[in-house]
Chains A and B, each alone.
Chain A
Amino acid sequence: MPQTLAEQILSHAAGRSVQAGEVVTVRVDLAMIHDSLAPGIIRLLHEDLGAERVWDVDKVAVVIDHVAPAATVQTATHQANTRKWVREQNITHLFDVGRGISHQVLVEERLAQPGMIVAGSDSHSTGYGAVGAFGTGMGSTDMALILATGRTWMRVPETVRILARGQFRPGVSAKDLGLYAARVLRADGATYAAVEWHGVDFLSVGDRMTLATLSIEVGGKAGIVPPTGAPAADLRVPDWLRVEAGATYLRTVEVDLDTLEPQISMPPFVDNVADLRDVGKVAVDVVYLGTCTNGRYEDMAAAAQILRGRTIAKGTRMIVVPASSESLQQAAADGTLTTLLAAGATIGTPGCGACIGRHMGVLAPGEVCVFTGNRNFRGRMGSPDAQIYLTSPEVAAATALTGYITHPQDVMA
């Protein structure tokens, strides 16, 4: 019987053919834990589970990205303890302050590969679907069990298929497709399901990560982009992994990219999405470009293209937090960074930045932020009385120029 990508990957990991709905125990290929939850997971592993060592020192990645560099003595102490633990356990992969956001880094390091099961202590671990892996977020207990055993339990998910046709118009990008999918599916439209993104073979792996990370915002257990098309040419695709005609999908959402307009998600829910054109004049205090969803080189370059030779509006701040050191280096090397700085933006250490409201630009009560991230819940970036709008990097840059929410076409040359 033809299988979805999720069914193929879980069948492979379970060692037998499995179907949507079954609960199976599978082996995990890569486990990621980050600074924010590592101390608790380590304690669970040793104290609650009584395990002494992680199951495989090469298959565990520890990333210090959530509050990096540390903002308080307490955080610094937790991070110091985590580094010490990594040394004691002899864990191969530690990515420390400034290397970047876990999901982006593990893809850049080629640790996440097509067909793998990657479990992370972070809900946006769906991002590993950018390379055709089954990436999924789990809580501390699950992660501790994985560190101890290399295995986890899972319900084989049904799959919701997004079927895109055509090409984006100028000023429209992967984020708009992702937000549009949230608009149609709503926050629970893919609960317990995997999301497969078809028709996006032309997108870079970075843009695929925009889609894969947004998959959790519709409830997805995983968000998988088939590892096909030119931008995926250097991924190691196992021969058993391919889109099979006749696989069963719970639902298919068709999207015509040729007519897709820039989308905007309005506070305080990600699925509260409208065409940007239909939002009135909203003055903006902060434009924040960053996160695992849209903080890569291509996102900075898209913003720089709009900001080149111009300056951002008086009274509006623009903060750029690159998703990784590689993205930052690339932006520095080709002048993208200079363009952003010359326009009046400032830059933070690669990592999560203020995405979870813990440092590096948290919002004050009443402030309005245009954010290229993935969540606009009340209090997400600081004060519960701040307003967060989610947009593409193109809309963010256009907004920085005028000081109010702006359609990229209105400022593009």
Chain B
Amino acid sequence: MARIWKFGSDVNTDQIVPGRYAPYMLKNEDDLRKYPFVEARPDFAPNVQPGDIIVGGNNFGCGSSREYAPLALKLVGVGAIIAPLFARIFFRNALNLGIPLFTIDLTEQLQDGQQVQLDLATGVLTTDTGEQIQLPEPSLFMREVWQAGGIVPFYRQYGRFPGEVA
């Protein structure tokens, strides 16, 4: 089971990881895993478990192009992020890193702390009350990137961009 971590609208990259905790400001880059939402939601980093799911409001990830924001989420093992709308650069960065993203508004349906199960292959999210929610179908491009574990491994493996004819 995965836990739902719910956030509001317009979560920006400064909230996800403030600039002061940028990897190049840290002694050890691995320490980045201590800082997602360090100020905005201090209980997140110490408690999040691999596979947990973030459910956000509109415009999730707005703000700067800092890739260490989604990277911090990847390092702590966030299994998917679900929001009605993602900020563009965050969407790109998270997709490139291989974090599954689903564009759908579930802020009403899901509660913070709720336990769910997500089947990435079918896109079906099953809640602890047995409710099943079908997430929007990811594009081939996204699935190719997830399967390779990110766009870098994809490029290394195939020598082309996803969706491109080699």
Contact = CB atoms under 8 A, between A and B. Distances in A.
Interface of A: 23, 25, 36-37, 39-40, 44, 48-50, 74-75, 78, 121-123, 125, 137-142, 144-145, 149, 151-153, 187-188, 191-192, 219, 221, 269, 356-358, 375, 377-380, 384
> Which 9 A-B pairs have CB atoms at the shortest separation, nearest pair first?
A139-B67, A139-B93, A188-B59, A123-B65, A137-B65, A141-B96, A140-B67, A377-B14, A25-B161
B10 A221 contact: no
A123 B39 contact: no
A384 B70 CA distance: 21
Contacts of A74: 24-25
B150 A123 contact: no
Given A50-B156, A123-B89, A188-B59, A139 B150 contact: no
Contacts of A48: 152, 156
Given A139-B67, A145-B151, A145-B155, A39 B24 contact: yes
Contacts of A191: 59, 85-88
A380 B12 CA distance: 11
Interface string B47-70: 000000000001100111111001
A14 to B, nearest CB: 11
Contacts of B15: 377-378
Contacts of B139: 23
Given A141-B97, A377-B14, 10 more contacts: A48-B152, A50-B156, A121-B65, A141-B151, A145-B151, A145-B155, A188-B59, A188-B87, A357-B20, A378-B14
Interface residues of B, number: 41
B163 to A, nearest CB: 6
Contact of A379 (B39, B141, B155, B164): B39
B162 interface: yes
B76 to A, nearest CB: 18
14 contacts: A37-B67, A48-B156, A139-B92, A139-B93, A141-B67, A145-B155, A153-B161, A187-B10, A188-B58, A188-B85, A191-B59, A191-B88, A377-B12, A380-B14
B19 A357 contact: yes
Given A153-B162, A221-B88, A123 B63 contact: yes
A23 B92 CA distance: 12
A403 B95 CA distance: 46
Contacts of B22: 36
Contacts, number: 115
A138 B89 CA distance: 6
Nearest to B62: A187
B105 to A, nearest CB: 13
A378 B19 CA distance: 11
* Chain B CB within 10 A, most for which of A37, A141, A149, A269: A141
A140 B152 CA distance: 11
Contact of B96 (A36, A139, A188): A139
Contacts of A377: 12, 14-15, 63
Contacts of A145: 151-152, 155
B77 interface: no
Contacts of A380: 14, 19
Given A219-B59, A358-B19, A379-B18, A49 B88 contact: no
Nearest to B40: A378
A141 B14 contact: no
Given A187-B10, A269-B10, A23 B163 contact: yes
A141 B150 contact: yes
Q: Taking each of B24, B96, B97, which has the highest tally of chain A beta carbons within 10 Å of its own beta carbon? A: B24
